[in-house]
Structure formats: structure tokens, C-alpha cells
Amino acid sequence: MNELGRKAVELKNQGDRLGAKALHHPWMVPLARMGYLAKGVVYAVVGVLALQVAFGQGGEMTDTRGALASLARGTWGTVLLAVVAVGLLGYVLWRVVQAWMDPDGKGTGTKGLVVRAAYGVSAVIHASLAVAAFRLVLGRGGAGQHGDQSMQSWTARLLSEPFGQALVAVVGLVIAGMGVSQLYKAWTEKFRRKLSLRDLNASQERWTMRVCKGGIAARGVVFVMMGVFFLLAALRSNPSEARGLDGTLATLANQPHGDVLLTLAAAGLVAYAVYMAVVSRYRSFQGA
């Protein structure tokens, strides 16, 4: 083994030790579980509000930030939102641990580094969401720009930069790639490897897997659509083509048989929330 190989092995072993140490911290696993559950609550709100629109029972098209504002308006909204905010913070910390300390053993190869980088990006995104939640809890205004408004605003800023169209196209490809990755994850059932479902009987396990697969696949389809919208924004140099989660759901609703399409997508997002709850309860943590 050459010097470079020895250093790579040494770095991996060091990462494994740090990851195990992080997982043995008394707060790490509970925070991770709370984080998954908090993320599920946010997606459940998005899905339920969209289902209400599909069935003509009010509701609204919204994204994850809009879901926080909806939680704040409900009964016991501030208390519930505070719990979700703490949970999201736990999710951020867990993603940082996954990216930096690699407790899941992704390694330092190309694929492993890409996955760990994705964990880092997820940490940044959910940190922003956690900050928005804490601001609402403290009564410092709404969740700020969200959905199409936010997407189109920073798409316009990107387009104004040198090579702006290329940058927006890269964003679109990344988002679409995340969607394809989710579809692959659902199809191969790779997520099953991290779940310990021994407490469920055969029928319960079978239905749990079906709901989880449906939720992951639905989120994947929505992300692929969002990525395509960004690619259109880049191709046409038009920021108004960009769509957030709410705009993507609205686009589905405006298609022929839109109520059916919106119902399927919204139900899928609720199923994804169930998947997050399942992960929160049954995920196994290596070394914990």
C-alpha cells in the first residue's frame, strides 16, 4: 500500500472513531430521532394542506417554510412549533455528524464523499428552516420569503451573475438528481437496511414498507419536476420559470385531471411524513 493509500485508511479509521464517539454521546441519538420526526411533521402539514385543496376543503399550496407558518397559527401553535424547531436543530446536528464524522461508514471514496457532501447541504437547508421556526416562536415576523417567491428571487440573482444560466442549470440538475436518487432509493428499498422492524409482524412490516416506498417515490417525483423547472429557467433565462414545492404542486393541479394528480402527490408527501416517523422510531444507529 502506498503512502496515499495509508493516509486514506488512517483518515477513515479516524472518522470511524469520531463517528462512534458522537453516537455514544447521550443526546445524539435522541436528537437524531427527534429530528426525523420534526421533518416528518413539516411534510405532513404540506401534504395535508394540499389534500384540502384537492378536495375543495380550503387548505393552501405551501412549502416547508409555509408549513411552519401554518403550524404557528394553530391551537397550541407556538408550543408545537417550538418542539419542531428543536427537532429540526437536532436533525441539523445529526446531518453535520453524518457529513463530518461518517458514523454510517460511507468512506472517503468518490461515492462516499458525494453522499457526505449531500448530508452537509441538507444540514445547511434544514438549519435555515430551523432558524425560520425559532423566529416564529419568538414572534419575530413570519417565515420570510418561501416557495415560488423565494425560488424566483434567488434564481434571478443567480441569472444576473456571470455564467448565471449555467449556475441555474447546475442547481436544476442537482435538484433533479436528488429526485432520481429518491426514486432509486424507493425502487431498490435500500432504506430498509437502516431500519430494524423486528417489533412488527409480517403484515405490519409489509404495509409499512409500501407506505414508505410510496412516500419516498412521491417526493422523488416532486424533486425531479422542480429540477426540470430550474432547467427551463436556465434555458429561457427567465426566473419566473423556477418553481418551489408549492408551485410544483400547483402545476400538477392545473393539469388535466389535476385534482387526481394533486391528491396523489399530496398523499405521497403525507406518506413521506410517515416514512420519517418510521425512521425516527426504527432506525438503527451503528455503534450506538
Contacts of 34 (CB under 8 A, 6+ apart): 86, 87, 90, 91, 280
State the sign of the Cα–Cα–Cα–Cα dihedral 31, 33, 39, 40: negative
The total domain count for the chain is 1
Task: Enumerate residue ranges in the chain where pLDDT < 70.
Answer: 1-26, 141-147, 286-288
**Residue 287 belongs to a domain:** no
For position 22, what pLDDT does the model report? Answer: 55
**Residue 177 belongs to a domain:** yes
State the sign of the Cα–Cα–Cα–Cα dihedral 154, 180, 118, 274: positive
For position 40, what pLDDT does the model report? Answer: 97
**Residue 270 belongs to a domain:** yes
The boundaries of the domain holding residue 158 are: 3-282
C-beta separation of 179 from 222 below 8 A: yes
**Residue 49 belongs to a domain:** yes
Q: How far is CA 55 from the centre of its chain?
A: 26
* Separation between Cα atoms, residue 19 and residue 230, nearest integer Å: 36
Whole-angstrom CA distances from 95 to 18, 30, 98, 140 are 14, 14, 5, 27
> Which phi and psi angles does 209 have, rounded to 5°?
-65, -40
Q: Judge if pTM exceeds 0.85.
A: yes
**Residue 139 belongs to a domain:** yes
**Residue 13 belongs to a domain:** yes
**Residue 93 belongs to a domain:** yes
**Residue 288 belongs to a domain:** no
